[in-house]
Amino acid sequence: MRATLPSVGLKKVIKLLTSIENSRFPVAVERIQIEHFRGGEDSYNVQIGVIAYDAAEPEAGEVDASSMRGDSSMRAGRAGPPAP
């Protein structure tokens, strides 16, 4: 997924990057570009690309180790927020 954030403050950019880093989902930042055009103002144009990985589905008849432990956090079918 790629996103463009025009005229955003640096604190919001740092908060977004921290949220991505601390995510419990397997994600990676593919690219980031931060441009600052106006001298002295806290206004940046940001482009960010994030890769989210899907969890492998167990084959028919196989038992997922997390289901044996009762760990529901490992049963998610895909990483990231739900589809709209």
Measured from the Cβ of residue 52, the count of other Cβ atoms closer than 10 Å reads 14
Tens-place pLDDT, residues 12-56: 999 999 999 898 888 999 999 999 977 778 899 999 999 988 766
Write down the pLDDT at residue 74.
Answer: 46
Pick the residue with more confidence: 30 or 59? 30
Ordered by start, the domain boundaries in the chain are 2-74
pTM above 0.85, yes or no: no
Instruction: Give CA angle at 73 (63, 70), nearest 5°.
Output: 50
For residue 65, give the amino acid letter.
A
Q: How confident is residue 72, by pLDDT bands cut at 50, 70 and 90?
A: very low
The DSSP annotation for 5-63 comes to EEEE-HHHHHHHHHHHHT-SS-EEEEEEEEE--STTS--EEEEEEEEEPBPPPPPTT--
Instruction: Please give the pLDDT value at position 40.
Output: 75
